[in-house]
Amino acid sequence: MIFDILTLFPGMFVSPLQESILGKALERNLIKVRVHNIRDQAVDKHQMTDDRPFGGGEGMVMKPEPIVAALDAIRNDGPAPRVILLTPQGRLFHQGVAQELSQCSRLVLLCGRYEGVDERVARYFVDDELSLGDYILTGGELAAMVVIDVVARLLPGVLGNAASAEAESFAEPILEYPQYTRPQEFRGHAVPGILLSGNHQAIHRWRRGQALLRTQLRRPDLFARLHLNAEDGVLLTQARQESVRETAGLGIAIEDRENSALSGSGTLPGGESPP
């Protein structure tokens, strides 16, 4: 896949693209990332890419001419791309959107700055608008890095473990279970015994229950989207009881927000609340 990035600050992408999984994917030509400086398309001697907003107001707005000129140059160089504007006003980026984008052969990521881009760019010259969430970044560059990282992980061969990519491709809205590694005991805190049992079926059930409980406590919005079956209800109850025993043994009261979450949201078949 080809990622074309339109930005006013191309230097921001140098280090992140050389490290870890993305760096290896680039070395193996599994992805290509091409960074384009929007200022190169500015026609005036000062290379102006922003101006004051019509109607007054604070800040500056990115001008349409250099952006569209850059888009025209990119469209004429390779397969037809999908053009995405990174903006707080876009639809929320999540794993499902990443899976959708991973089917494209080429993405253009336009990094907004200042008070945003001229509305005519957003309305007539891009195909999609994406936001990472309900907060404001200094610019779209960090958002573009996130999109590249998440989408690239879904491409064949990018992850060393094919099973990891497959699991991410069909991820349900649930947080991951707790992970442990050596040493077996650290400062008086031991690894849960079930993980040392060698019983893979029991470990799988424990992890599922822990993932359900963690999602219910930490992300009730995701938990509400889950469709729990009867076994999930049993595993959730077991995980909840284990959590209560652990906190009681430590003399720690479960926080009010956790008590509230444990009272349950989400439904089982037949409309029943989970036990």
Strands 2-7, 32-37: pairing is parallel
Asked if residue 65 and residue 115 are part of one domain, the reply reads yes
What contacts 240, CB < 8 A, 6 or more positions away? 213, 262
Arithmetic mean of pLDDT, 106-135: 96
Phi-psi region of 114 (alpha: psi -120 to 50; beta: other; left: phi over 0): left
pLDDT at 213 exceeding the cut of 70: yes
144-154 pLDDT tens trace: 999 999 999 99
Cis upstream peptide for 16 (omega within 30°): no
128 and 97 Cβ atoms separated by less than 8 Å? no
195 shares a domain with 95: no
- Asked whether residue 175 is domain-assigned, the answer is no
Domain limit, last residue, from 127, 160, 193: 160
Say if residue 143 is in the same domain as residue 240. Answer: no
Q: Is the pLDDT of residue 166 over 70?
A: no
66-80, 113-127, 199-213, 235-249: lowest mean pLDDT where?
235-249
Average pLDDT, the chain: 89
Query: Does residue 235 fall inside a structural domain?
Result: yes
| Same domain assignment for residues 144 and 15 | yes
Q: What is the pLDDT of residue 179?
A: 95
- Whether residue 256 lies inside any domain: the answer is yes
- Rounded mean pLDDT of 116-142? 96
Q: How far apart are CA 32 and CA 49, in angstroms?
A: 26
State the pLDDT at residue 44.
84
116 shares its domain with 51: yes
172, part of any domain: no
The larger pLDDT score, comparing residue 260 to residue 121, is at: 121
Partners of residue 33 on adjacent β-strands: 3
Domain annotation covers residue 117: yes
Does 170 reside within a domain?
A: no
Does residue 79 sit in the same domain as residue 190? no
**In terms of domains, do 69 and 119 share one?**
yes
* Separation of alpha carbons 80 and 3, rounded Å: 12
What size, in residues, is the chain?
A: 275
Q: Give the model's confidence band at 272: pLDDT under 50 very low, under 70 low, under 90 confident, else very high.
A: very low
The string of DSSP letters for the chain reads: -EEEEEES-GGGGTTGGGSHHHHHHHHTTS-EEEEEEGGGG--STT---EEPPTT--SS-EE-HHHHHHHHHHHHTSSSPPEEEEEEEEEEEP-HHHHHHHTT-SEEEEEE-BTT-B-HHHHHHS-SEEEESSSS--SBTHHHHHHHHHHHHTTSTTTSS-HHHHHHHHT--S-PPPP---S-SEETTEEPPGGGGS--HHHHHHHHHHHHHHHHHHH-HHHHTT-B--HHHHHHHHHHHHHHHHHHHHTT-PPPHHHHHHHT--SB-GGGPPP-
d(CA 113, CA 136): 11
Q: Indicate whether 23 belongs to any domain.
A: yes
In a shared domain, residues 67 and 202: no
Least confident range from 6-20, 50-64, 247-261: namely 247-261
Instruction: State in Å, rounded, how far the first CA of the chain is from the last one.
Output: 46
Q: Convert the pLDDT of each residue in 29-42 to its tens digit.
A: 999 999 999 999 99
Boundary of a domain, candidates 120, 143, 160: 160
CATH of the domain at 266: 1.10.1270.20
The region of weakest confidence among 195-199, 254-258, 264-268 is 264-268
Q: What is the pLDDT of residue 163?
A: 57
For 239-249, the pLDDT digits (tens) are 999 999 887 76
What number is the average pLDDT over the span 200-212?
Answer: 97
Phi first, then psi, for residue 177 (nearest 5°) are -70, 165
Confidence (pLDDT) at 258: 47
Domain that holds residue 259: 185-271
Q: Tell me, yes or no, whether 133 and 218 share the same domain.
A: no
Domain count, the chain: 2
Distances in whole angstroms, Cα of residue 77 to Cα of each of 67, 106, 153, 219: 16, 11, 25, 43
> Please, which pLDDT band fits residue 117 given cuts at 50, 70 and 90?
very high
One domain, residues 122 and 250: no
pLDDT tens track for 37-83: 999 999 888 889 999 999 999 999 999 999 999 999 999 888 899 99
In a shared domain, residues 124 and 64: yes
Share of the chain above pLDDT 70, in %: 87
User: Is residue 84 predicted with pLDDT exceeding 70?
Assistant: yes
Q: What is the CATH number of the domain that holds 68?
A: 3.40.1280.10
* Together in a domain, 37 and 134: yes
Using the 3D structure, point to which of 101, 127, 160 is the last residue of a domain. 160
**Strands of the sheet with 106-111, listed across from one edge:** 32-37, 2-7, 106-111, 82-92, 128-131
Question: Residue 49 falls within a domain, yes or no?
Answer: yes
